[in-house]
Structure 1
Amino acid sequence: MQAAAGTDVGNPAVNLSIFAAFVAVTLFVVLRASRQNKSAADFYAGGRSFTGPQNGTAIAGDYLSAASFLGICGAIAINGYDGFLYSIGFLVAWLVALLLVAELLRNTGKFTMADVLSFRLRERPVRMAAALATLLVVFFYLLAQMAGAGGLVALLLGVDSAAGISAVITVVGVLMILYVLVGGMKGTTWVQIIKAVLLIAGAAVMTIWVLSKFGFNLSALLQGAVDAAGEGGQSLLEPGRQYGATGLSKLSFLSLALALVLGTAGLPHVLMRFYTVPTAKEARRSVVWAIWLIGIFYLFTLVLGYGAGALVGPETINAAPGGVNSAAPLLAFALGGEILLGIIAAVAFATILAVVAGLTITAAASFSHDIYANVIKKGRVNPDAEVRIARWTVVVIGLVAIGGGVLAQKQNVAFLVALAFAVAASANLPTIVYSLFWKRFNTAGALWSIYGGLISCIVLIVFSPVVSGSETAMIPGADFDWFPLTNPGLVSIPLGFLLGIVGTLVSSEPPHPEKFAEMEVRSLTGAGAERATASH
């Protein structure tokens, strides 16, 4: 195992060849899918031609990011019970998103979240605000994924220079641009389906392999992890190892948990996936498939995390170049040597590519459909021109993501993912919930909620310990952190909901009960979406 803890993991040539095979297969699939891209509905929503099981699998592929696979396995290996709380949190978050808003949004909208929010409110200001919130969420999420991709692939290819890591990030960005530019939502969906199958199958094989090492006895596996951790190892099975030191750390965890659980229901790239199915019935089938696949995967992470702790050991994991993110690759190397490691590395690479492709098409749709077509051109634009702008947007976003990923490679980027969730929960979720369920809600309430949630999130994170005043801060040596929590969710989420109420009540804009009634019928029956599908 000592070889695995050096500058690279396994054999870089094997890892690279498996990466190349994955890229070749997915590019072929994307090129095939691109032949059917003829309209805006094809580019943004895959022509609404995917079945429930296909879309459910793609949703799982979109939702299970590198953080779900590499981060959670490492968190469980090092922190045990507290690490598994992430798995539980992400699964509960997904259930909240699906049961609360996903199908209703799909039935009401056409391509983007702003379609729903502007349905019964003043269109241009609400679309602009929703599009800005969407672009910010996507940017923060994309930045973290790109920087993570650079670190992971550099580890697996034995690259340790800054220039080498920058080159890796650039390659990931170029591939992302190519997938989305050529394949649109159809190509992106097929990449996500392939990635989900590979990820869940790979995790299943490793889970069975790990359990076989302990006679398929979960108690023996847990005891193995405790023994490998040495003194204090028993705390792996108890709450509080990571978040129980002080009352403040418990509050930070509560804030993070709130952002994760509620933020998922406002993540635009996840919600956009529901526009790719033709009917409300298929949307519900998507939900069932996604819940099963995501739930099963998070159960696998329990075995993989404790398995890495038992078979690799926390010291080896912490000493590896990727730190806790190396737990799953190191476990693969311990179980099956270079070949299994190469396969798991390719799966992790696929995970990052699929997620960044989904994020990019969401941002492109938000800019071209909401800002360009409906705000700048006031709806007077033909679909071909809109798609052309979307393609240019993909290129710009890809270049910005590459530049941001290169600049962020030495930074603590974990907070960017948490910030994306916090922005989604603070700015997007209140307006979605009020639009769907509150008859009196109006334009002022939406703008107060979106901009208030957005600004409070960013201000609180800037003055928190993740930016200054701590050992792992983004700006070492600086100290201007007056907000004590590492995630703003505990303050900014209730504030977003409160501002939506206050903005609505102080506004003189009259309510539109007839619009609310029409929206309610559409959201519950899917009638509007069915007509939109038929027209395409």
Structure 2
Amino acid sequence: MMVSSAAGGTLMESNPVLNISVFLAFVAVTLFIVIRASRNNKTAADYYAAGRSFTGPQNGFAIAGDYLSAASFLGICGAIAVNGYDGFLYSIGFLVAWLVALLLVAELMRNTGKFTMADVLSFRLKQRPVRMAAAITTLAVCFFYLLAQMAGAGGLVSLLLGIDDKLGQSLVIAIVGVLMILYVLIGGMKGTTWVQIVKAFLLIGGAAAMTIWVLALNGFNLNTLLESAVAASVSDPKDAILGPGLKYGANPWDFISLGLALVLGTAGLPHVLMRFYTVPTAKEARRSVVWAIWLIGIFYLFTLVLGYGAGALVGPDVIAAAPGGVNSAAPLLALYLGGPVLMGFISAVAFATILAVVAGLTITAAASFAHDIYANVVKKGKNGDGVSDSDGEVKVARRTVIVIGVLAILGGIGAQGQNIAFLVALAFAIAASANLPTIVFSLFWRRFTTRGAVWSMYGGLTAAVVLIILSPVFSGSPTSTLPNVDFAIWPLENPGILSIPLGFFLGWLGSVTDRTVESRTLAAEMEVRSLTGFGAEKAVEH
């Protein structure tokens, strides 16, 4: 790949062999870590929650590794390079979303639950209907998030490794899927957590090095960097990239809807919330919060420099014309700054990011099926002898990992070339519309009932899916999933502005019309547990 940059001259040619070598080295190191971590996986608590053995700083790095996906690194840098201020709004949205998740629900859920989100939702409500609904929404969020990550892996191949045919991209998706299955099967949550920690260290370290490099080229003067970005901009007027409206000026309601889904959906993402079950105490959970906020906040400040730096040094027109489109901004900037070596490192980090995120999603989905559906709905918390079936639950979880991995590989291959933003938006919209209302009501409203929980989850899930299908991202435009047909009657690209309030409304309506009186004792116990952490290590049974 040889392209001319906005700063003049020609970018050096990337080296696919070097990229693959660096990536394989990372895989070898992390597989060794996963195998070492797997030696203590003996119980369900070990497999799902890493034996609650991680410290606050360790879990803070793991949270950052889980949250900072390839979209955060590649997507946001590209959005800022091309759309300037409006692209940076994504960084602000993601960071504010994390604050909402941490300060509103994370510690309370850790104190109340055991392994999964459904543990919290079913604590004082009827187990079977609530666990089934929670497991279905969790699996839906994880599957569509997985689909986006897997398909994104194939889409990045053309730029990072020089493979531009469908067969080659399908092979890479399959390799990522197989590695994901191995990581989760062997290491469980402990192995996955260490992969997240290593990946977070590499991602933040690589972004920091590139940020310092870009600032050094501009005399460590942010104003000089912005002036260079304006000079290279293709917008009209050129300084439009410094102000709002370049992307969302025509329809600000679209950004409001997307912002609601991002900010509130993150607080309902099961794979993020599950991270808080890996620490031993509420104090360590709070330390995780502090570390995660610092790491994620600093990283998103880096994206501002990297995005405008890519726009200034590489050029938005060069980025848009590259094989990966706007996702190519960070790799092309690395190629400009450090040549094939830095490009190889960033390539490895990008793939490691995808690998780490899909591993976290997979173990969350497996835990939801095995713990919520198999152990608590099918087996009702006991095996045939009337004792806890922890071993059988872990076996089912491992088999579920294989099934989910195969489905993710097939789905990722099938989704190649389709609108990946549609899949991500669907995952966030489901989380915000179905999961968050039930979490908030369960934690803060004693009058909440089983009917309210079921109506909220199924209603929010249905509304989000239907509105996405009826939106422009699914049909009616050249960039739609189905570009040759048009049945888009919902004008916005994200359903959050309607489906999220609907999820809360259905939770309230179902509860106030339900004459069933839920246990006041359990409601009081849940309140004490959520605020103090007392009894959090005990099994959730009633």
Given candidates 143, 153, 166, the residue that maps to 2:157 is 153
The aligned runs of 1:128-527 (5 Å cut-off) are: 128-230=132-234, 231-245=236-250, 249-381=251-383, 382-527=389-534
State the alpha-carbon separation in 2 of the partners of residues 419 and 260 from structure 1.
11
Moved over 6 A (4+): none
CA distance in 2, matches of 1:37, 1:379: 21
Do the aligned residues in 1 keep the contact of 2:155 with 2:417 (CA within 8 Å)?
no
Q: Distance in 1 between matches of 2:519 and 2:244?
A: 49
Q: Which amino acid aligns with 1:303?
A: V
Pair 181,4 (structure 1): closer, same or farther in 2 beyond 3 Å: farther
TM-score (norm 1): 0.97
Paired residues of 2:449 and 2:518 also in contact (CA < 8 A):
yes
Q: Which residue of 2 aligns with 1:44?
A: 48
Shift of 1:185: 0.2
| Other-structure match for 1:120 | 124
Q: Which residue of structure 1 aligns with residue 79 of structure 2?
A: 75
Q: Structure 1 CA distance, aligned partners of 2:204 and 2:438?
A: 34
| Cα 1:532–1:283 shift into 2, 3 Å | farther
Distance 1:45 1:120 in 2: 22
Q: What SS does the aligned partner of 1:529 have?
A: coil
- How far did residue 158 of structure 1 move? 1.0
Identity %, equivalent residues: 74
Residue pair 1:9, 1:158 contacting (<8 A) in 2 also? no
1:35 is paired with a residue whose SS is helix
* Contact 1:57–1:196 under 8 Å retained in 2: yes
Question: Which one is further off, 502-511 or 217-226?
Answer: 502-511
- State the alpha-carbon separation in 2 of the partners of residues 366 and 528 from structure 1: 22
| Contact 1:153 1:349 (8 Å CA) reproduced | no
Q: Separation in 1 of the partners of 2:4 and 2:354?
A: 22
Q: SS where residue 240 of structure 1 aligns?
A: coil
CA distance in 2: counterparts of 1:463 and 1:531, whole angstroms: 45
Give how far 1:3 is off: 4.0
Query: How far off its partner does 1:456 sit?
Result: 0.4
Q: C-alpha offsets along residues 43-62 of structure 1, whole Å, 9 cap, x if unaligned?
A: 00000000000001000000
**Contact residue 440 and residue 512 of structure 1 kept, 8 A:** no
Residue in 2 that maps onto 1:32: 36
Q: What SS does the corresponding residue of 1:466 show, helix, strand or coil? A: coil
Once the two structures are TM-superposed, the CA of residue 439 in structure 1 deviates from its matched residue by 0.8
Q: Distance in 2 between matches of 1:154 and 1:362?
A: 30
Please give the alpha-carbon distance, in whole angstroms, between the structure 2 residues aligned to 1:511 and 1:193. 41
Instruction: Check whether the contact 1:76–1:84 (CA below 8 A) recurs between aligned residues.
Output: yes
CA distance, structure 2, for counterparts of residue 232 and residue 368 of structure 1: 56
- Residue 530 of structure 1 deviates from its aligned partner by 3.8
- Which residue of 1 is the match for residue 386 of structure 2? none
- Cα distance, 1:35–1:9 mapped onto 2, change above 3 Å: farther
1:100 aligns with 2:107: no
Which structure 2 residue ranges, 5 or more long, are not aligned? Answer: 384-388
Superposed CA deviations along residues 70-120 of structure 1, whole A, max 9, x for unmatched, are 000000000000000000000000000000000000000000000000000
In structure 2, how many angstroms separate the alpha carbons of the residues matched to 1:3 and 1:250?
A: 35
Q: Quick check: 2:124–2:518 contact (8 Å CA) kept in 1? A: no
SS at match of 2:40: coil
Equivalent AA in structure 2 for residue 236 of structure 1: I
Report which stretch shifted further, 473-482 or 486-495.
473-482
User: Partners in 2 of 1:417 and 1:346 — Cα distance?
Assistant: 22
User: Cα offset for 1:531?
Assistant: 4.2
CA contact (8 A) 1:66 1:352 kept: yes
Q: TM-score, normalised by structure 2?
A: 0.96
Q: Gaps spanning 5+ residues in structure 1: where?
A: none
- 8 Å Cα contact 2:3/2:318 also seen in 1: no
Does structure 2 conserve the Cα–Cα contact (< 8 Å) formed by 1:427 and 1:454?
Answer: yes
Aligned length: 530
Once the 2 structures are TM-superposed, how far is the Cα of residue 9 of structure 1 from its aligned partner? 6.2
Distance 1:350 1:9 in 2: 22
In structure 1, give the amino acid aligned to 2:95.
Answer: L
Counterpart residue identity of residue 317, structure 2: E
Query: Shift of the alpha carbon at 1:410?
Result: 1.3
Aligned equivalents of 2:134, 2:539: Cα separation in 1: 21
Give secondary structure in 2 for the equivalent of 1:528: coil
What is the CA distance between 1:154 and its match in structure 2?
A: 3.6
Cα distance in 2 for residues equivalent to 1:442 and 1:528: 23
* Cα shift at 1:380: 1.2
Q: Distance in 1 between matches of 2:122 and 2:537?
A: 19
Q: Distance in 1 between matches of 2:537 and 2:127?
A: 22
